[in-house]
Structures are given as structure tokens and as C-alpha cells.
């Protein structure tokens, strides 16, 4: 039997505010135990998704789209079920590649009001084309006949730039890092600029010292910032 492409765990079932948390691709939920614990302590029920690490390395664009859509559909179903139970406060929190389902969920599910987007992309295709670590994904895409432009068009449903205009009316906290080598600063800026072009309000935190992983760790440790943001207007 093949491994599932994503897994779901829940924490703080007694709480009546809900965060859908999306781990970075290839990392497991247990790595985020401390921030999840902090969310639970502050009154949030956390529904956490993590992803099979070989999705990017050994799969194709159809798989990327299918996995993200399956996750977003599950989030939508859970929102509808939880609303029936009287819950009305819904947020998303995505880190690294986990920002893709976070952004897509916020863009397409009206009841999600707040989003923490920590170290995200502009064009996913550009990242696939430029990051040496996932060169097999680029090679496979080329064998399937894709150019960077045609891959960008194919992956538009999960690309942050394409989803930015649909975040109107949401509360958004965006983290980027100037020294990021995994999702380079110039790619992250694409999403920031697309938000500005769509006239969407957002809070920006820009790290000038650390790369991808250390910046993420620093952001998670400074939990007062994102916890206060998520608790805005919460009952």
C-alpha cells in the first residue's frame, strides 16, 4: 500500500476557535509541537496537515494540484461541519510550502477570516525552475513538455500570485526573509507586490538576518506577534 500524500492531526478539541495549520513540505507535525501547544493554550483548536516529502521530488504537476485541492476540499468540509456545531472563528497558518494550501483555503473559503503566511512563494513554477534541491521536479516537468511559463499557467490554482486578488477582505500576516535561499527574497516579493496591486491590506514582517529555516524558527518563537494577530476580534 502506498503512503498517503498528506496526514491530519487535531489538537485542543475543547477549544472553539479553529486554526488549520499546514506544515512545510516534507516536515512532520511533531516538529511544530511548540507553536501548536501555544495555539491550544490560547484557545485554538488546531487541525494540522503535513505532507509526504516525496510529493515534489517524485510526482508531477497533476499530483501537486490534486493534493492541494484535496486538502482545501477537506478544510471546506470541516469548516461546514464545525459551523453546524456553532464555531465561527476560522484561520489558516502556513509555513513554507504549507503556505500554498493556506493561501488557497483563505482565497476560496469565505468563512476563513485570518491567515498567517510564513515564508511563501510568488510563482511556484519559478521556484521549481530555480531551486537546485528540487531539480528532479524541473527535469520531470521538462520531460512532460513544460516550460517555466506553461508550468506556471498549469499551477495557477495553487500559486500565491494568482490567488492574491481573492484575499480581499481577509486579515493577512505575511512573513518574508531577505536572506532566504529556499524561497528567495525576490520570489517572495512577487506575492507581496501582487497583494499591493490587488489593494489588499496586510501586515508585513521582514527578517533581514536569517535564511529560511532560522527565520522560520525565529518567527515561531516570537509567538506573541502571530497569536495576537490570530486573536483579533475573537470571542
Longest dimension (CA), the chain: 52
Residue 2: pLDDT band (50, 70, 90) is low
What's this model's pTM, rounded to 2 decimal places? 0.94
The residues, ordered by sequence, that sit 6+ positions from 113 with a Cβ below 8 Å of its Cβ are 89, 90, 91, 170, 171
DSSP string over 116-160 = EEES--S-HHHHHHH-GGGHHHHHHHHHTT--HHHHHHHTGGG-H
Return the percentage of the chain with pLDDT > 90, whole number: 83
- For 90-139, what is each residue's pLDDT tens digit? 999 999 999 999 999 999 999 999 999 999 999 999 998 988 777 888 88
φ/ψ of 21, rounded to 5, equals -110, 130
Walk me through the domains of the chain, giving residue ranges and CATH numbers. 6-228 (3.40.50.1820)
- What's the chain's average pLDDT? 93
pLDDT of 136: 82
Q: Dihedral sign, CA of 148, 96, 164, 111? A: positive
Residue 180: all three cell numbers together: 532566504
Top-confidence residue, 194 or 57: 194
- C-beta separation of 9 from 29 below 8 A: yes
- For 171-230, what is each residue's pLDDT tens digit? 999 999 999 999 999 999 999 999 999 999 999 999 999 999 999 999 999 999 999 999
Q: Is the pLDDT of residue 9 over 80?
A: yes
Residue 5: pLDDT band (50, 70, 90) is confident
Q: Dihedral sign, CA of 23, 128, 115, 119? A: positive
pLDDT of 234: 61
Top-confidence residue, 60 or 72: 72
Q: Is the pLDDT of residue 145 over 70?
A: yes
Amino acid at each position: 500500500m502506498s503512503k498517503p500524500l498528506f496526514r491530519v492531526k487535531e489538537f485542543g478539541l475543547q477549544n472553539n476557535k479553529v486554526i488549520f495549520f499546514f506544515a512545510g513540505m516534507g516536515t512532520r507535525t511533531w516538529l511544530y509541537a511548540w507553536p501548536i501547544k501555544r495555539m491550544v493554550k490560547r484557545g485554538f483548536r488546531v487541525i494540522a496537515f503535513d505532507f509526504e516529502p516525496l510529493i515534489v521530488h517524485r510526482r508531477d504537476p497533476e499530483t501537486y494540484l490534486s493534493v492541494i485541492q484535496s486538502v482545501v476540499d477537506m478544510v471546506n468540509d470541516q469548516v461546514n461541519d464545525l459551523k453546524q456545531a456553532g464555531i465561527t472563528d476560522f484561520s489558516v497558518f502556513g509555513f513554507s510550502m504549507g503556505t500554498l494550501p493556506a493561501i488557497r483555503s483563505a482565497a476560496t473559503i469565505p468563512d476563513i477570516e485570518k491567515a498567517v503566511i510564513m515564508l511563501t512563494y510568488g510563482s511556484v513554477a519559478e521556484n521549481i525552475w530555480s531551486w537546485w534541491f528540487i531539480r528532479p521536479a524541473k527535469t520531470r516537468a521538462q520531460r512532460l513538455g513544460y516550460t517555466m511559463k506553461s508550468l506556471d499557467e498549469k499551477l495557477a490554482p495553487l500559486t500565491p500570485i494568482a490567488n492574491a486578488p481573492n484575499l480581499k477582505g481577509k486579515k493577512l500576516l505575511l512573513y518574508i526573509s531577505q536572506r532566504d535561499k529556499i524561497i528567495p527574497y525576490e520570489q517572495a516579493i512577487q506575492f507581496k507586490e501582487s497583494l499591493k496591486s490587488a489593494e489588499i491590506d496586510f501586515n508585513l514582517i521582514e527578517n533581514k538576518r536569517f535564511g529560511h529555516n532560522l527565520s522560520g524558527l525565529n518567527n515561531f518563537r516570537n509567538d506573541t506577534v502571530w497569536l495576537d494577530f490570530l486573536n483579533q476580534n475573537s470571542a
